[in-house]
Structure 1
Amino acid sequence: MDTKSDGIFPKRQYLPVFRGAALVCAAAAAGALLTGCGQDTDGEATRNGAAEAARIAAASTSPSADASHLTEDQRERKALVPKAKTGYEHALHAATAAVAKSEPVSVELKGTPDSPRWEAEVATGDGTAHTVSVDAAGGKAGEARAKHEDEDDKRELADLLKKATVTAEQAARTATDKTKGTVTAVELDDTDGGTPKWSVDVVTTDDWNKTTYDIDATNRKILGEHVDRD
């Protein structure tokens, strides 16, 4: 332990004086009361103190630090996502079970906190699609409803299903490996080049942002990533 004296006070006596002076200066800078704290002649200390006070004030009121600054979409996610007691996997299984020989096309969490639901779409090999609503709280699937589409749409969907060798669950795991959170939507689509892709939405429950991943449905490669902070 260093017990040397500075020639005026022993070191153990000097430290409280120094700390007290620092606290007075910090308080003066934060409140713009910079009198008697070593202000220089050109006002540089005043400017530096005011800038630091402004920085601290801005940080303390940032959206990430204060939940009251959540956007409308973030508040909706915060209210809805925890109410889904069954995940997207259960919704897809329930939907495919409701339509014989069908495969998943999409699933999305919708509804209200009082009545959350998964809206799923499945299709058979010829591209005939059905929608199935699944209770996100209890997991019960409703009646399958056929979608009325023309033959071209059916052929396009059938072609996507044949090309997609990556499952919806595999795509979702690829997304959550990158961003830990809750999957709220998965959808099969195609790229501009005609390659099938899965779009996966992941909501992070620390900030309620939504990250959307586009994942190649033939090799699980991540094609794009977008964070929605609105």
Structure 2
Amino acid sequence: MRHGSVTSVGRGRGRAVGVLGAVAAAAVLVAGCGDGGKDESSAAATKPPAQPVNQPTTGALTEDQTERKDLVGAVKTDWEQAADAAVAKVPDGELVEIELKRSDGVMEWDSEVATSDGTSYDVHVDAVTGQVIRSQVEGDQDNEDRQQLADRLSKAKTTAQQAASTATDRKQGTVTSVGLGGGNGGAAPVWSVDVVSTDDWSKTDFDIDAASGEILRQEVDRD
């Protein structure tokens, strides 16, 4: 901390003239010895200014917050535009999942699109240009997997867009992922939606009932 210049106050006030001058000078010396030789006005001048209490500090972003900031800041194509491009590549396709990722330095929306019979397609959309990078059928699906996915889609009464809108109505921010899960054993499927706040780069996770559209869970990740 830098302090202001200190002004030294002299104890003598000039040359003593006559006896009265000498007495006056001695009195000053005695008074100076009584308080340890310190002049109150000089001491006050050297005292540093009081520091503010509870002064707010700005902390550095965590690794996850930095990653979210970098990802969201580079996006030129939002999730809905990317989803439309992905679905357009699959005849009779419906969006199952989409997530913002960085792959080999390329910003992309990694999406899953399925047909009504549950056949799943892996479609990647460039997050800057909005162009489909590649699209292919998932190679590890069996008949049971397709049936479960078809059932999940048929039980979903709300769309991905409606689920995302419900989430952003509750928490303003940028949607970075939407995915349909669950729906097994007679249970209703659930839309999971991630919303990143550009105020502090936290992420809020939502679970939304895909049948009723109600929010089942909301959790904030500030790391």
- Tell me the TM-score range normalised by the shorter chain: 0.7 to 0.9
Report percent identity of matched pairs: 49
Deviation at residue 115 of structure 1 after TM alignment:
2.4
**Structure 2 match to 1:229:** 222
Residues 98 and 143 in structure 1, CA contact (< 8 A), matched pair in contact too: no
Instruction: Deviation per CA, 1:27-77: give whole Å up to 9, x if none.
Output: 1xx4xxxxxxxxxxxxxxxxxxxxx94xx15xx23xxxx2x5211000011
Q: Aligned match of 1:184 in 173, 176, 199? A: 176
Partner letter of residue 125 of structure 1?
Answer: S
The aligned residue for residue 205 of structure 1 is 198
Structure 1 unpaired stretches of 5+: 1-20, 31-51
Partner of 2:110: 119
Question: What letter corresponds to residue 162 of structure 2 in structure 1?
Answer: Q
Paired residue secondary structure (1:214): strand
Task: Show structure 1 runs of 4+ deviating over 4 A.
Answer: none
Aligned length, in residue pairs = 176
- Distance (whole Å) between structure 2 residues aligned to residue 105 and residue 77 of structure 1: 23
RMSD, aligned CA: 2.2
Structure number with higher helix proportion: 1
The TM-score normalised by the length of structure 1 is 0.71
Q: What's 2:150 paired with?
A: 158
CA offsets 1:173-197 (integer angstroms, 9 cap, x no match): 0000000000000000016762111
Once the two structures are superposed, what CA deviation does each residue of 1:59-112 show, in whole Å capped at 9, x if it has no partner?
A: x23xxxx2x521100001111101111111011111111011010000000016
**Bigger CA radius of gyration:** 2
The answer (yes or no) to whether the contact 1:83–1:137 under 8 Å persists in 2 is yes
Cα separation, 1, equivalents of 2:126 and 2:144: 32
Is the CA contact 1:121–1:131 (under 8 Å) kept in the aligned structure 2? yes
Normalising by structure 2, what TM-score? 0.74
Quote the residue 1:45 is aligned against. none
Could you say which residue in structure 1 is the equivalent of 2:87? 96
